[in-house]
Amino acid sequence: MSLLPDLFTFWHEQAGKLGHQTLQHVALTAAALGLGVAVGVPVGLWLTRRPRWQGAVLGAAGVLQTVPSIALLGFLIPFMGIGARPAIVALLLYSLLPIIRNTVAGIQGVPPAVVEAARGLGFTNGQLFRQVELPLALPVIMAGIRTATVINVGVATLAAYVAAGGLGEFIFEGISLNNPVMILAGALPSAALALAFDAGLGALAALSARRLRAVGLGLLVVLPLLAAGYWGPQLLGARRGQPALQAAFSPEFVGRADCLPGLSRIYGLGKLPHGVLAPALVYEALRDGRVDVIDGYSTDGRIRAYGLRVLRDDRHALPPYYCAPVLRPEVLRAHPELGPVLDQLSGQLSDSAMTNLNYQVDNLHRDPKAVALGWLRRRGLLKAPRPLPPGAPEVRLGSKIFAEQYILVEMYAALIRGNTDLGVATKTGLGGTTICFEALRGGQIDMYPEYTGTGLQVLLQPSAAVLDSLGGRPEAVFSYVQAEFGRRYGLAWRAPLGFNNAYCLLMREQQATELGITSISNLGKYLQK
């Protein structure tokens, strides 16, 4: 297996990025941990003096702990936007429970006889706390901080979803590109960081209760220093002048050779500073003015809803993504009447038509089925479902987990029900490309809508020479994908539906107009200035 050499090669090639991400990861963790200690320990101490509040406060911290981290980040974004702030706040909230709980347990674990004797000898409350309770509780408190650290290092990988950076960038790029080397390239350093932090704090705790001051200093000085690793470079950057435009891209877009790296080469976007952000969040980040350039899909309904502009790919750098049904040929052989029915949609949906349908589902929150049937009706394609003969065979339609796919599947379902004697089962929301593809190959579904570019880049993954020869021409890509799917997997592509749901660069309409940017070439030129 070549995983290990590949991994080292990857680290070697991406050493700069790895270092930067590690630094960010450490900084995020340290900042959250520093705040967690600054908040959690005093709260815990206060609870030992006000035991009546323990149930409520520990309960609340416990509830926070059970909120899935992705959900917590999503919940924070409306209040805090994207970037380091929501990430640090989320990490802080996760670190509170172990720190508070262990602080309470540590102080309450001090033997009552020791406290009584100390009081009886004439310790003031402050002296009792500083010289007796805190030193004796310290090992337990430190254990809580260590737990919080290990949690934080792990959860900090999710910071990549809100453009806060960290080792999650590699991990999410790797997941979206189906690239295990890339996943490991982020996951292994993250695990190593967790162990290193734990060992460091362990060493600090081993200084023992007698060195309370050393432990306190260690936490209160070292953590902010580590955290400064995040903002230090940013501050330096700020001194050099704010960048004109800020971009945020989804992990897949950053990682794929034909996306950001290709664009940077062809259009000279190297100077565009960018963060990595969850695909679901980029549109809102652009709308709210937190960033100025994002990647998106050219048929996404939010382009219309948020007043965004698609920058024209005037040099055809981005690969074509024409949508077409992919199916198992056995189904066509068994039910030859199916072919013409599916082809009723061929070439019928333009980019703007699809954008409009997506807009109705994504932004007007209409039912995908109603939207699909409405469009068929207007086109005169809708027929009443035929009564099913007993024991009629069933066609199983799959879809990935976004609106466009739901709509297309509902269209196909209606067409099959209206024009054939076949039953239809829909299995929508099958996650990403890999899941749909494997379900089709494994015979769990008979058909799903796929995009030529995805088939080419994610599934076939041809050599650079082949990619060059195809040159991003839609027809050439379709023919190649159709032939290769038949040869390699025994799967068939039908004719495309007409629209190209490709990656694109998006800006706010208003800003793009002000800056006079309509194409990616314009953007490149603007950045060169």
Partner 1 sequence: MIPPSPVIRVSHLTKRFGAQVVVDDLSFEVAAGETLVLLGPSGCGKTTLLKTLNRLIEPNGGTIEINGRDVRQQKPEELRRGIGYVIQQVGLLPHLTVAQNVGVVPGLLGRPPAETAARTTELLNRLHLPAERFGPMLPAELSGGQQQRVGLARALAADPPVILLDEPFGALDPITRTAVRRDFRELDELRRKTVVLVTHDVTEAFELADRIMLLDKGKIQQLGPPRELLLHPASDFVRSFFQAEQLALQLRVVTLAEVQPFLPQGQPAASADTPTLPPTASVHEALGQLDAGAASAFRLADQPQVITRGQLLAAFGQALG
Residues contributing to the site for partner 1 (CB under 8 A): 111, 113-124, 127, 131-132, 135-136, 208-210
DSSP code string of 105-134: HHHHTS-HHHHHHHHHHT--HHHIIIIIIH
Q: Between 212 and 222, name the residue whose CB sits nearer to partner 1.
A: 212
Beta bridge partners of 327: 447, 492
Beta bridge partners of 276: 249
Q: Between 133 and 252, name the residue whose CB sits nearer to partner 1.
A: 133
Beta bridge partners of 309: 507
- In whole angstroms, the minimum distance from the beta carbon of 104 to partner 1 comes to 20
Q: Between 210 and 316, name the residue whose CB sits nearer to partner 1.
A: 210
Give the closest residue to 185 by CA, choosing from 151, 152, 157. Answer: 157
Distance, in Å, from the CA atom of 308 to the CA atom of 260, rounded to the nearest integer, reads 20
- In whole angstroms, the minimum distance from the beta carbon of 122 to partner 1 comes to 4
Q: Between 118 and 305, name the residue whose CB sits nearer to partner 1.
A: 118
- In whole angstroms, the minimum distance from the beta carbon of 142 to partner 1 comes to 14
Q: Between 141 and 269, name the residue whose CB sits nearer to partner 1.
A: 141
- In whole angstroms, the minimum distance from the beta carbon of 143 to partner 1 comes to 17
- In whole angstroms, the minimum distance from the beta carbon of 276 to partner 1 comes to 48
One-letter amino acid identity for 275? G
Give the closest residue to 415 by CA, choosing from 343, 480, 464. Answer: 343
- In whole angstroms, the minimum distance from the beta carbon of 138 to partner 1 comes to 9
472: left (phi over 0), alpha (psi -120 to 50) or beta: left
- In whole angstroms, the minimum distance from the beta carbon of 118 to partner 1 comes to 7
Beta strands in 190-292 (DSSP E): 247-249, 274-276
- In whole angstroms, the minimum distance from the beta carbon of 141 to partner 1 comes to 14
Q: Which two tokens mark 459?
A: 């599934």
Q: Between 125 and 242, name the residue whose CB sits nearer to partner 1.
A: 125
Q: Which two tokens mark 443?
A: 């015979």
Q: Which two tokens mark 373?
A: 């049937």
Strand 492-493 and strand 323-327: the pairing is antiparallel
Is 342 within 8 Å of 381 (Cβ atoms)? no
| Three state DSSP letters for 135-196 | HHHHHHHHHHHHHHHHHHHHHHHHHHHECCCCCHHHHHHHHHCCCHHHHHHHHHHHHHHHHH
Q: Between 14 and 108, name the residue whose CB sits nearer to partner 1.
A: 108
- In whole angstroms, the minimum distance from the beta carbon of 137 to partner 1 comes to 11
Q: Between 120 and 241, name the residue whose CB sits nearer to partner 1.
A: 120
Distance, in Å, from the CA atom of 330 to the CA atom of 491, rounded to the nearest integer, reads 9
Strand 503-508 and strand 394-398: the pairing is unpaired
- In whole angstroms, the minimum distance from the beta carbon of 219 to partner 1 comes to 19
Q: Between 68 and 122, name the residue whose CB sits nearer to partner 1.
A: 122
Q: Between 124 and 352, name the residue whose CB sits nearer to partner 1.
A: 124
Beta bridge partners of 293: 247
Beta bridge partners of 425: 396
**Burial track 470-499 (b if 16+ CB lie within 10 A, e otherwise):** bebebeebbebbbebbeeebebbbbebbbb
